[in-house]
Amino acid sequence: MKRTLIDTIEYDYPTFHLSMDCFWAEVTAGHLELKEAEAAKWLTKDQLDSVAWLPADVTLIEKIRRNMEN
């Protein structure tokens, strides 16, 4: 399986520091079972702004949006 890094996010929240490696993924079979997410949904490029992203996610979302435009 090829793992392609989107970015590593470093963000200081008031009570902790977040270091998050984010990768592109592809579902090829079966179904997804979420282990850590409180809520999840599939979004199109036009729906990306419909979510109240956490501060650490904003930079990542812009990179995802740019990639979806290519």
Of the candidates 60, 42, 65, the one whose C-alpha atom is nearest the C-alpha of residue 6 is: 60
**43 domain-assigned:** yes
Interval 27-31 mean pLDDT = 85
**62 domain-assigned:** yes
Of the candidates 47, 55, 53, the one whose C-alpha atom is nearest the C-alpha of residue 11 is: 55
- Is 60:6 a contact under the CB 8 Å cutoff? yes
Better-predicted residue by pLDDT, 38 or 47:
47
**57 domain-assigned:** yes
- 34: number of Cβ within 10 Å: 8
- Is 20:56 a contact under the CB 8 Å cutoff? yes
Task: State which residues form the domain around 47.
Answer: 38-70
Q: What is the pLDDT of residues 47-56, one digit of tens each?
A: 999 999 988 8
* pLDDT of the residue at 8: 95
**7 domain-assigned:** no
**63 domain-assigned:** yes
User: How many domains does one find in the chain?
Assistant: 1
**17 domain-assigned:** no
| Residue 7 in this model has a pLDDT that exceeds 90 | yes
* pLDDT of the residue at 1: 56
* pLDDT of the residue at 67: 87
